[in-house]
């Protein structure tokens, strides 16, 4: 996407941004499974563009609440104009199971999807083969499609923002009560040290621990 | 989930897909095609007007390709 912006606006600094600058975010930052690398990269681009908070919140809230991945990647592939020779191309599978991440964190986001897909030994994963190689391939298929979906949403949002289309940036309703109930509120029903009392953010916090 | 030994490499690219994906052609030609712009990135961001809409599907596909390793060598992808 930076490449498109650089091409569309030659002479700006956007053609000087180092490639690979945000690769550190892969697999939740160096495979620590913390914040998913996709919101890291998309958030970085929005920051570079000077996007307002509502645009960033809209994107992250969309990730949090949307059943992902969608079939958009596969649908695009089926148009038949993808460049497949010359590299290790892997066909995106059709009818992938979906899960709502309910978080921006890699660990939980991926974990919920693996569960929705029937687990590491489930039928969907077995379509990729056997053993640990199968779950690796299945997860790669899922996360690649997640990238496709998120970049698509990001591009749409940027185009809308630049066109003056109102963008709500609405957070999950549960966020408003994070400090008054549940894990972060006054009545701790779980171990305090696990819940960061009196500290909240923008992630939804009513249905699941965002760990 | 930890026991499934998901490959670290398989998950790299989420960020590269967005931030690093399509930069290569512009960077590789920048030295010969134009002088190095001066100033701050914020100034460049403010200068992106009138906006030229991003090709949504092209960007998404590029992101997927980056994640899947098509540009690993040229994008400096590690891990």
- Nearest in space to A53 (alpha carbons), one of A211, A210, A202: A202
Question: Does B72 reach chain A within 8 Å, measured CB to CB?
Answer: no
Rounded-to-5 percentages of helix, strand, coil across chain B: 60, 0, 40
Question: Does B31 reach chain A within 8 Å, measured CB to CB?
Answer: no
Question: Does A59 reach chain B within 8 Å, measured CB to CB?
Answer: no
User: If contacts are CB pairs under 8 Å, which of residues 64-83 in chain A contact chain B?
Assistant: 72-73, 76, 82
- pLDDT surpassing 80 at residue B77: no
- pLDDT surpassing 80 at residue A135: yes
Q: Is the separation of the CB atoms in A124 and A118 below 8 Å?
A: yes
- pLDDT surpassing 80 at residue A122: yes
- pLDDT surpassing 60 at residue A52: yes
Distances, alpha carbon A80 to alpha carbons A20, A61, A74, A155, in Å: 29, 32, 10, 22
- pLDDT surpassing 50 at residue A149: yes
User: Is the alpha carbon torsion for B67, A74, A171, A204 positive or negative?
Assistant: negative
A-chain CB neighbours of B1 within 8 Å are 107, 110-111, 114, 120
Name, in order, each residue with C-beta under 8 angstroms of A12's C-beta and a sequence gap of 6 or more: A5, A6, B37, B44, B47, B48
- Whether the predicted interface score ipTM is above 0.90: yes
Question: Does A38 reach chain B within 8 Å, measured CB to CB?
Answer: yes
By Cβ distance, the residue of A16, A48, A110 closest to B36 is: A16
| Distance from the B54 Cα atom to the nearest Cα atom in chain A, whole angstroms | 6
Mean pLDDT of A168-194: 75
The pLDDT tens digits of the residues spanning A5-31 come to 999 999 899 988 876 788 788 889 988
Most A CBs within 10 Å: which of B23, B55, B78, B79, as the mutation test of the A interface?
Answer: B23
Question: Does B28 reach chain A within 8 Å, measured CB to CB?
Answer: no
Tokens representing residue A136 in the block:
């690796």
Question: Does B42 reach chain A within 8 Å, measured CB to CB?
Answer: yes
Mean pLDDT of A42-57: 96
How far is B55 from A38, CA to CA, in rounded Å?
Answer: 19
Chain-chain contact of A135 with B6 (C-beta, under 8 angstroms): yes
What pLDDT shows up at residue B25? Answer: 40
- Nearest in space to B18 (alpha carbons), one of A1, A34, A47, A56: A1
Most B CBs within 10 Å: which of A17, A146, A149, A151, as the mutation test of the B interface?
Answer: A151
The pLDDT tens digits of the residues spanning B6-61 come to 544 444 444 555 544 444 344 444 444 455 667 888 888 998 999 999 999 999 99
Mean pLDDT of A48-66: 97
């Amino acid at each position: 996407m930076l490449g498109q912006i650089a091409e569309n606006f030659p002479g700006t600094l956007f053609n000087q941004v180092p490639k690979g600058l945000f690769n550190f975010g892969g697999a939740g930052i160096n495979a620590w499974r913390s914040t998913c690398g996709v919101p890291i990269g998309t958030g970085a681009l929005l920051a570079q563009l000077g996007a307002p908070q509502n645009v960033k919140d809209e994107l992250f809230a969309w990730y949090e609440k949307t059943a992902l991945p969608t079939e958009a990647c596969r649908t695009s592939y089926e148009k038949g104009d993808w460049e497949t020779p010359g590299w290790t191309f892997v066909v995106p599978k059709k009818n992938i199971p979906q899960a709502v991440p309910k978080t921006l964190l890699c660990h939980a986001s991926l974990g919920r999807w693996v569960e929705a897909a029937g687990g590491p030994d489930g039928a969907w994963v077995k379509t990729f083969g056997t053993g640990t190689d199968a779950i690796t391939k299945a997860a790669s298929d899922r996360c690649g499609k997640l990238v496709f979906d998120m970049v698509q949403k990001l591009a749409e949002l940027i185009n809308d923002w630049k066109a003056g289309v109102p963008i709500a940036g609405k957070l999950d309703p549960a966020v408003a009560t994070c400090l008054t109930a549940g894990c972060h509120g006054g009545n701790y029903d779980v171990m305090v040290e696990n819940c960061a009392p009196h500290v909240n953010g923008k992630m939804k916090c009513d249905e699941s621990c965002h760990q | 989930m930890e026991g499934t030994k998901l490959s670290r490499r398989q998950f790299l690219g989420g960020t590269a897909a967005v931030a690093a994906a399509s930069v290569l052609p512009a960077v590789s030609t920048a030295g010969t095609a134009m002088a190095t712009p001066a100033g701050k990135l914020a100034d460049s961001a403010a200068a992106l007007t009138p906006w030229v809409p991003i090709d949504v599907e092209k960007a998404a596909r590029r992101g997927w390709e980056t994640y899947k390793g098509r540009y690993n060598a040229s994008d400096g992808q590690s891990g």
